[in-house]
């Protein structure tokens, strides 16, 4: 089996930010883990088998699933914009990448290349694919689980390709399958490919698309105006083309009598990975992080340790980045240590690490927005105002300017420092959905 060399594989680094000092009897250790990958997000050199793709053949595969339900014809510009956006995405698929296009309604139909296969990107196949987009015609219902099943079937024709990514567009609710049916599909395809989800217009459900993108370790966003689809599709595809390694896991090892309380991605978006743990040997668990190019992400790891006395210290956890090999083994790319030291120095034990404090606030901000919007939908204006007021306060304190601007379209900010707000009258569905969709986006610690 060929091994990746320093020249053709991203270099990963792990940095740990924490206050290791605990008061006597304390048992909770918090750390922010910054993972950075550099040098791999280009097409200049292809990954070898077991990492990003095969030594021969495509190094990545992409399936574009476009909603073709009847509502995509209202107005007719919506489906036209969707075709144009898909054409732009196809143009962004680099040579040698496998790709396919699927039309999604209450069933999934292959548009290109057909026959349950993937085409290999070249100037010729990209042109053929664009010509086939005239077959993206509206009519029928919406059952997104069938689209995901079709994408999985198509991806499975190339077991030699490990970087598998889907782009999914819908304009409405998943009305033609039950929630449990969709969940069954997500459980089955989870870990087999990643997916970015986009909702066009304002007639779709944020929670529904977030459920899909979270399960498939991708992003979710709103494109309220269909004319913005082309730019968004191009950006998504270019990001997908920058991925160089798939199936990277954050492995957390803890000593005897210690356990992981939670693992959350906290930048660039908040995503709780705690329920995604898989066993990785004695006292170790893997948390999936998906595919990587040149990028950096932050994770909040909380470990519960046995309380100890002043002067005691221990290794509370070892955090590793691992990537699997086809033979079932895995390779450690980088690692860092989380420590615990018990002290009677009150100043040392009560000092909260700036990174931990910041991201705790960012997670609270995301929760406050979602709880506030939920309360508003229930007609509980008092709770909604209190929650969004808290969100305004947190956004202002942390310097999350983008979220603050989105909040300001839903509430009038009377006093940001105190979190005093009033709900705006006649808030548009677009502003409310944009705030909900982007509520989990975070900013990094201010320098």
What range does the domain containing 28 cover?
A: 2-42+244-351
Domain membership flag for residue 47: no
Domain membership flag for residue 445: no
* Average pLDDT score over residue span 25-50: 73
Higher pLDDT, 342 or 447: 342
Residues 394/427, Cβ–Cβ less than 8 Å: no
Residue 381 reports pLDDT greater than 50 = yes
Please check whether residues 82 and 181 belong to one and the same domain. yes
DSSP state of 258: -
Domain membership flag for residue 91: yes
Please check whether residues 294 and 337 belong to one and the same domain. yes
Beta carbons within 8 Å of 214's beta carbon, 6+ residues apart: 220, 271
Q: How does residue 5 score in pLDDT terms, banded at 50, 70 and 90?
A: very low
| Last residue in a domain, options 215, 241, 267 | 241
CATH number, domain of 170, equals: 3.40.50.410
In angstroms, the CA 1 to CA 47 distance is 12
In angstroms, the CA 117 to CA 147 distance is 15
* Mean pLDDT of the chain, nearest integer: 93
Please check whether residues 120 and 222 belong to one and the same domain. yes
Please check whether residues 346 and 373 belong to one and the same domain. no
Please check whether residues 153 and 71 belong to one and the same domain. yes
Q: Is 299 helix (H, G, I), strand (E, B) or coil?
A: strand
* Average pLDDT score over residue span 274-300: 96
Domain membership flag for residue 447: no
Please check whether residues 237 and 259 belong to one and the same domain. no
CATH number, domain of 279, equals: 2.60.40.3670
Closest CA to 172 of 202, 128, 127: 202
Closest CA to 212 of 148, 279, 134, 268: 148
Please check whether residues 92 and 135 belong to one and the same domain. yes
Please check whether residues 374 and 405 belong to one and the same domain. yes
Please check whether residues 382 and 311 belong to one and the same domain. no
Residue 50 reports pLDDT greater than 70 = no
Beta carbons within 8 Å of 357's beta carbon, 6+ residues apart: none
Domain membership flag for residue 140: yes
Higher pLDDT, 46 or 129: 129
pTM over 0.85: yes
CATH number, domain of 409, equals: 1.20.120.1690
How many CA atoms does the CB half-sphere of 45 hold within 13 Å? 11
Please check whether residues 340 and 234 belong to one and the same domain. no
| Last residue in a domain, options 351, 386, 418 | 351
Residue 2 reports pLDDT greater than 60 = no
Q: pLDDT of 74-124, one tens digit each?
A: 999 999 999 999 999 999 999 999 999 999 999 999 999 999 999 999 999
In angstroms, the CA 204 to CA 434 distance is 12
Q: pLDDT of 385-437, one tens digit each?
A: 999 999 999 999 999 999 999 999 999 999 999 999 999 989 999 999 999 99
Token pair 């979270």: residue = 214
First-residue to last-residue Cα distance in the chain:
44
How many CA atoms does the CB half-sphere of 158 hold within 13 Å? 30
The total number of structural domains that make up the chain: 3
Please check whether residues 153 and 193 belong to one and the same domain. yes
Q: Write down the pLDDT at residue 295.
A: 96
Residues 60, 52, 191, CA angle at the centre, nearest 5°?
A: 80
| Last residue in a domain, options 186, 207, 241 | 241
Q: Write down the pLDDT at residue 3.
A: 37
Please check whether residues 76 and 191 belong to one and the same domain. yes
Q: Phi and psi at residue 372, in whole multiples of 5°?
A: -65, -45
Q: Rounded to the nearest 10 degrees, what angle do helices 229-241 and 76-91 cross at?
A: 30
In angstroms, the CA 231 to CA 432 distance is 22
Domain membership flag for residue 364: yes
In angstroms, the CA 18 to CA 31 distance is 5
DSSP string, 54-65: -SSS-SEEEEEE
Residues 151/65, Cβ–Cβ less than 8 Å: yes
Burial of 235 (0-12, 13-18, 19+ CB in 10 A): middle
Question: What's the token pair of residue 302?
Answer: 């909380």
Q: pLDDT of 135-183, one tens digit each?
A: 999 999 999 999 999 999 999 999 999 999 999 999 999 999 999 999 9
Domain membership flag for residue 446: no
Q: Is 185 helix (H, G, I), strand (E, B) or coil?
A: helix
Domain membership flag for residue 217: yes
How much of the chain, in percent, has pLDDT values that exceed 90?
90
In angstroms, the CA 162 to CA 139 distance is 34
Q: Is 128 helix (H, G, I), strand (E, B) or coil?
A: helix
């Amino acid at each position: 089996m060929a091994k990746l060399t320093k020249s053709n594989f991203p270099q990963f680094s792990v940095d740990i930010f924490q206050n290791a000092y605990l008061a006597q009897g304390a048992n909770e250790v918090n750390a922010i883990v910054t993972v950075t990958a550099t040098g791999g997000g280009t097409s200049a050199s292809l990954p070898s088998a077991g990492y990003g793709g095969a030594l021969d053949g495509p190094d990545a595969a992409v399936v574009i699933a476009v909603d073709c339900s009847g509502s995509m014809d209202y107005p007719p510009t919506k489906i036209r914009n969707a075709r144009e956006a898909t054409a732009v995405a196809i143009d962004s698929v680099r040579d040698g990448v496998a790709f396919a296009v699927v039309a999604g309604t209450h069933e999934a139909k292959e548009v290109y290349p057909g026959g349950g296969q993937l085409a290999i990107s070249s100037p010729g196949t990209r042109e053929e694919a664009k010509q086939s987009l005239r077959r993206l015609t509206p009519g029928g219902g919406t059952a997104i689980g069938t689209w995901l099943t079709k994408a999985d079937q198509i991806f499975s024709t190339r077991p030699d390709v490990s970087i598998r990514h889907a782009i999914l567009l819908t304009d409405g609710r998943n009305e033609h399958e039950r929630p449990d049916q969709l969940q069954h599909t997500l459980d089955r395809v989870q870990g087999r490919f990643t997916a970015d989800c986009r909702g066009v217009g304002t007639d779709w459900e944020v929670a529904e698309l977030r459920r899909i993108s979270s399960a498939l370790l991708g992003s979710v966003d709103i494109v309220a105006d269909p004319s913005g689809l082309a730019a968004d599709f191009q950006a998504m595809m270019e990001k997908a083309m920058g991925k160089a390694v798939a199936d990277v896991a954050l492995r957390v090892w803890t000593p005897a009598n210690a356990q992981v309380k939670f693992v959350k991605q906290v930048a660039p978006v908040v995503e709780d990975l705690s329920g995604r743990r898989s066993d990785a040997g004695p006292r170790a668990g893997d948390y999936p992080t998906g595919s990587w190019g040149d990028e950096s992400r932050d994770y909040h790891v909380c470990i519960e340790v046995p309380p100890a006395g002043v002067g005691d210290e221990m290794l509370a956890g070892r955090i590793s980045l691992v990537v699997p090999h086809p033979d079932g083994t895995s390779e450690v790319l980088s690692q860092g240590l989380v420590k615990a030291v018990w002290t009677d120095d009150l100043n040392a034990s009560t000092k909260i690490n700036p990174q931990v404090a910041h991201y705790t606030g960012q997670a609270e901000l995301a929760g406050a927005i979602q709880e506030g919007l939920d309360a508003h939908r229930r007609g509980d204006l008092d709770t909604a105002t209190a929650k969004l007021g808290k969100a305004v306060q947190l956004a202002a304190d942390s310097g999350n300017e983008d979220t603050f601007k989105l909040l300001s379209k839903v509430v009038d900010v009377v006093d940001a420092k105190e979190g005093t707000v009033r709900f705006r009258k006649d808030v548009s569905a677009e502003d409310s959905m944009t705030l909900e969709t982007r509520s989990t986006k975070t900013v990094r610690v201010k320098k």
